[in-house]
Amino acid sequence: MAVRKGLGKGLDSLILSRNEGDFEKEKKKDAPENVSHETLVKITKIEPNRAQPRRHFNEDLLQELADSIKQHGVIEPLIVQKRGEGYAIIAGERRWRAARLAGLKEIPVIVKEYSDQEMFEIALIENIQRENLNPIEEALAYKKLIEEFKLKQDDVANRVGKSRTAVTNFMRLLKLDGRVQQMLVEDMLSSGHARALLALTDLELQYQTAMKIFDEKLSVREVERLVKKMTEEKPAKPEKKEIDIAANNEAVYRGLEEKLKNIIGSKVMINRKTKDKGKIEIEYYSSEELERIIELMNQIQNK
């Protein structure tokens, strides 16, 4: 795995640049608070950043990285922050996940102290520059910077090294029907397809058109012509159907996942199949962690 250098002005201004060779000189088993050199810590003491903008990790690519780590180790250290007796990841969650798959017991890190906003900005910038975010994840991250951290769109654009127009175009994607957004996440549509669909204000019509795009493999230009024709003809409004509010409100399920994560202590994913059916997935990374989860379930059952 090649060392990634020159991550960009936005990220370099927030993260201490790495000095090759320092790692062997400054290697330690556990890092004290407020250090900023490279050190080794136990991988079990590290947990993901709860504000991580990236939600989807390609399992095949993760396994490829794990195979590389088995051969070459983790070349680029994680950026972490002290949290209680352990550490929270600021940048490098994908490397951390792959390192666990590779069976590593320790992992190189740089320990830094940041505000919540700085942690979120660093995680966002790293993912953008590595092209690890899907368009909806990126749009939600910009929205959080604006709404939670009270930044203006111009400020967000400057922080991430994009034009204000690009940031605006990403955030417009959040106006799409929830099912269309999911198609974008799953790479069934491109951002160009999705932006063309924004001209359709009827959410059901958006979704039906998105399915047509996917089924017929329409190009972006073909979609633009199709949508223009549909809006000019002003078709009769489709028969009103009952709207599944939950299907269009990902925040509800993300909130439930977070609650379950806090109870169980491991990542939890809720995958909806239909309005009333779905499944809950709990991640574990060792037999010890599985035993802990089972013991917790037994305790809950016996209460």
Q: For residues 24 and 120, which has the higher predicted lDDT (pLDDT)?
A: 120
Whether residue 93 lies in the annotated active site: yes
Backbone angles phi, psi at 188, to 5 degrees: -80, -20
Amino acid 71: pLDDT: 87
Residues 20, 265: Cα–Cα separation, whole Å: 36
Amino acid 26: pLDDT: 38
Which of 12-16, 56-60, 155-159, 207-211 ranks highest by mean pLDDT? Answer: 207-211
Q: For residues 140 and 1, which has the higher predicted lDDT (pLDDT)?
A: 140
Give pLDDT tens digits for 94-122: 889 899 999 999 999 988 887 777 777 77
Residue 55 has pLDDT above 50, yes or no: yes
Question: Which DSSP category does 257 fall into?
Answer: H
Amino acid 127: pLDDT: 63
Residue 19 has pLDDT above 60, yes or no: no
Amino acid 228: pLDDT: 92
Contacts for 54 with CB less than 8 Å, ≥ 6 apart: 93, 94, 123, 127, 132, 133, 137
In 3D, which of 244, 252, 275 has the Cα closest to residue 177?
A: 244
Give pLDDT tens digits for 34-43: 446 788 999 9
Amino acid 155: pLDDT: 87
Which of 8-17, 38-47, 53-62, 235-244 ranks highest by mean pLDDT? Answer: 38-47
Amino acid 8: pLDDT: 35
Lowest average pLDDT, out of 21-35, 61-75, 257-271, goes to: 21-35
Amino acid 198: pLDDT: 95
Instruction: Write down the catalytic residue from 24, 26, 85, 93.
Output: 93
Give SS3 for 191. helix
Instruction: Please state, for a pLDDT cut of 90, what percent of the chain lies above it.
Output: 28
Task: Using a cut of 0.85, tell me whether the model's pTM lies above it.
Answer: no
Instruction: Please state, for a pLDDT cut of 70, what percent of the chain lies above it.
Output: 72
In 3D, which of 186, 209, 54, 49 has the Cα closest to residue 129?
A: 54
Mean pLDDT of 185-192: 91
Give pLDDT tens digits for 236-273: 555 555 445 444 566 676 777 777 777 777 777 777 76
Count of CB atoms within 10 A of residue 159's CB?
A: 20
Lowest average pLDDT, out of 21-25, 106-110, 274-278, goes to: 21-25
Amino acid 53: pLDDT: 60
Q: Which is it for strands 278-282 and 106-111: parallel, antiparallel or unpaired?
A: unpaired
- Residue 66, amino acid: A
In 3D, which of 66, 71, 79 has the Cα closest to residue 38?
A: 79
